[in-house]
Each structure stands twice: as structure tokens, then as C-alpha cells.
């Protein structure tokens, strides 16, 4: 994807994302070119970065978002946040098409974005040979199901299941209404 960049659009801004098997290759050029190569099937979780200064490997040592919602400043986290900002700002915002269509530029970018988030942020190492978790499914985090309140006086005589659904109470086992 190419769009007009800084300096009144005189410089072109380029963003290329390519995925082949386990390798996600991201190229970005705003002023100087920069590349990130991520192998989502390889441990330890890491990012290879190529810039004007050479090649650097940043390994994940800690979570990038701390419990107080501040960002870790390690080399890995710095590269992670920079790369994800580039994907969002120059990829997802400017890509043509629908995110649910994997044949469109936006769909390919969005799929790569989710894949990288699972690998780099959640430390999920993927495999081409075994089943892995679905990247499109968000896992619930520490959700507790509230217990249904006691039945009102007028609801006696109905079974508990009929009463809770008829009166709009939440079923604590299936979390349905």
C-alpha cells in the first residue's frame, strides 16, 4: 500500500505486509525503510528488525503492558508497539476492502494483525502441523457468572428453568437469558 506521506505529500509512504507459512514480513518506509520479520512458529517469542543501522533481534522477556496499564520500555516492547502502530496507522486504516474478506488488502492485514497479537502479546506459538487456538476468538478473562436472584412470589408453581427464562432471569449454568 502506498499513500502520500509527509512534506505535503512529496514523500511516498509505503507499507507492505507479506505472510508465507509461519513468516510474517512487514516493510515500512516513511523517511527511512524499516522491516520486521516475525516467525510465529518459533520460540522464543521474538522480532527481527532490519533498519538503516543493521539487523537486531528483540526477544520477549516480560509482558509489554504492565498491571498498571503502563508500557514496558524494553527493546522488544518498543519494537512491538512501533510495529503495531505502523500496522494500525498505515495498514488497517488505509487498506482497501473488508476485514472479513481474506482476499482483500484489509482482510489480509487484519488477519496478520490478529496473528501477531496472539504470538507477540499472548505468547501463543503456532504450528503448521498441530492444532492451535483460533485467533479470531477472544477468550473471556475472569468473568464470573452472577447467580440468579430468588423467584418472585407470583412465580411459584413453574419449574425453576421455565420461571427464570420467562421472568428474564439469567441461567447461571449456560449464561443464557
Tens digit of pLDDT for each residue in 58-106?
A: 999 999 988 888 898 899 999 999 999 999 988 888 888 888 888 898 9
> How many domains, in total, are found in the chain?
2
Residues 95 and 23 in one domain: yes
Evaluate whether 13 touches 31 at the Cβ level (below 8 Å): no
Handedness of CA 74, 77, 83, 89 (dihedral sign): negative
Check whether residue 26 and residue 63 sit in a common domain: yes
Tell whether 151 and 116 lie within a shared domain: no
Q: What was the pLDDT predicted at 93?
A: 86
Are residue 49 and residue 110 in the same domain, yes or no?
Answer: yes
pLDDT at 13: 82
**Spatial contact of 158 and 169, defined as CB atoms under 8 Å apart:** no
Q: Are residues 27 and 90 in the same domain?
A: yes
Please indicate, yes or no, whether residues 68 and 152 belong to a single structural domain of this protein: no
Answer yes or no: do 28 and 111 share one domain: yes
Q: Return the percentage of the chain with pLDDT > 70, whole number.
A: 69
Q: Are residues 117 and 151 in the same domain?
A: no
Greatest alpha-carbon span in the chain: 77
- Residue 177: pLDDT above 50? no
**Are 92 and 165 found together in one domain?**
no
Average pLDDT over residues 39-66: 93
Does 85 map to a domain?
A: yes
Contact residues for 112 (Cβ-Cβ < 8 A; gap 6+): 17, 19, 24, 26, 87
Cell 476468538 -> residue: 137
Indicate the average pLDDT of the chain: 78
SS3 61: coil
Q: Is residue 114 one of the residues assigned to a domain?
A: yes
Mention every residue, 6+ apart, whose C-beta is less than 8 A from residue 2.
Answer: 12, 13, 14, 15
Q: Report angle CA 5, 113, 38 to the nearest 5 degrees.
A: 95
Residue with more model confidence, 137 or 73: 73
Q: What is the mean pLDDT of residues 141-164?
A: 50
Structural domain boundaries enclosing 160: 145-171
Same domain for 68 and 112: yes
Does residue 135 sit within a domain? no
pTM of the model: 0.67
150 and 117 share a domain?
no
Percent of the chain predicted with pLDDT > 90: 40
Check whether 26 has a pLDDT greater than 80: yes
Specify the pLDDT at position 129.
84
Amino acid at each position: 500500500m502506498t499513500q502520500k506521506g509527509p512534506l505535503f505529500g512529496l514523500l511516498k509512504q509505503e507499507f507492505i505486509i507479506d505472510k508465507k507459512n509461519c513468516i510474517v514480513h512487514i516493510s515500512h518506509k516513511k523517511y527511512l525503510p524499516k522491516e520486521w520479520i516475525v516467525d510465529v512458529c518459533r520460540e522464543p517469542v521474538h522480532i527481527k528488525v532490519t533498519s538503516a543501522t543493521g539487523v537486531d533481534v528483540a526477544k520477549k522477556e516480560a509482558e509489554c503492558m504492565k498491571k498498571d496499564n503502563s508500557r514496558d520500555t524494553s527493546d522488544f516492547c518498543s519494537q512491538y508497539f512501533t510495529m503495531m502502530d505502523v500496522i494500525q496507522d498505515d495498514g488497517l486504516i488505509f487498506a482497501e476492502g473488508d476485514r472479513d474478506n481474506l482476499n482483500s488488502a484489509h482482510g489480509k492485514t487484519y488477519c496478520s494483525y490478529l496473528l501477531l497479537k496472539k504470538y507477540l502479546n499472548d505468547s501463543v506459538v503456532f504450528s503448521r502441523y498441530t492444532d492451535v487456538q483460533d485467533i479470531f476468538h477472544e477468550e473471556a478473562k475472569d468473568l464470573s457468572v452472577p447467580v440468579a436472584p430468588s423467584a418472585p412470589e407470583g412465580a411459584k408453581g413453574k419449574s425453576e428453568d421455565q420461571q427464570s427464562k420467562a421472568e428474564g432471569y439469567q441461567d447461571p449454568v449456560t449464561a443464557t437469558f
